Amino acid sequence: MSKSDSKKLRHFFHIAYQGKNYNGWQKQQDNFSLQQVLEESLSQVLKTPIAIVGCGRTDAKVNASQFFFHADLAKPADENLLFRLNRILPADIAVFDIIPMENLPHCRFDAIQRQYDYFIHTYKDPFLSDFSSLYLGLEIDFQQLKRATDLLIQYEDYRCFCTSPDKNEHTICRVSAAKWLVSENGNQLRFQISSNRFLGKMIRILVGQLLKVGKGLLSVDAFESYLINKETPKILSPAHPQGLYLSKVTYPYLDLAPKTDFLGLQKVSNDWKLIE
């Protein structure tokens, strides 16, 4: 560690956000991003330029009920910083915790597991439209949907379900869990997947392909052939972004429970039943 690095006081910021007003997490020229808003707000409060690093790169309109970024500060953060930062941030971004870290851990590269949830509703509801994806009159064969979903933990190379696979150092993703749940009234679906990493638009592409299987437009064997042959489908058809949530990020040294419940989406249907 260099002498300058030893003076840095790294902090992890535990946050959540609604993504509908942003062009994704990553700061981009001429685009309104979450990273930009947080860097500007933190710099304003501390009266010095602050650069931050996020634990991932969510797409435009994608939400996060748990997200971490790290920043190096000149002195330890206190409750006053948490209060002042939340006061100037827009209502769709919340900071829950500011955690001082020993040495210089990396909030993106150190994460060992990420969990995403994807929500679908099958009826028009103005209170769900920004936070769940509408698929009107969706009829699903749950048995075929589950058969295809169960294949995900058997494969590690997800090159076929990535928009730009060659931009990645590799396309290996170790999926540890994947399942579908249905609401008690049958009008909402929820896909949940966990892995050590994900590729660009991978989950939305997966959901789009799995829905094709459930609707009888794609066989389970054809779905598996993409994974076996590592061939990208001719038509990817990613699912809509607003239904997707980064819902849990786990580190070997930090494992916090999320402090929000998908903006009340779980309360809409009360009980979720695992599709078996």
Distances (CA, A) of 141 to 144, 212, 250: 6, 10, 33
- DSSP codes joined into one string, the chain: --HHHHT-EEEEEEEEE--TTSS-SS-BTTB--HHHHHHHHHHHHHTS---EEES--PPTT-EEEEEEEEEEESS---HHHHHHHHHHS-TTEEEEEEEE-SS---TTTT--EEEEEEEEESS--TTTTTTSEE-TT----HHHHHHHHHGGGG--B-GGG-S-GGGSS--B--EEEEEEEEETTSSEEEEEEEES---TTHHHHHHHHHHHHHTTSS-HHHHHHHHHHT---S---PPPGGGEEEEEEEBTTB-PPPSS-GGGHHHHH--EEE--
Is 59 tagged catalytic? Answer: yes
Between the alpha carbon of residue 26 and those of residues 58, 163, 242, the distances in Å are: 8, 17, 17
Out of 59, 72, 125, 130, the active site residue is 59
Catalytic machinery residues:
59
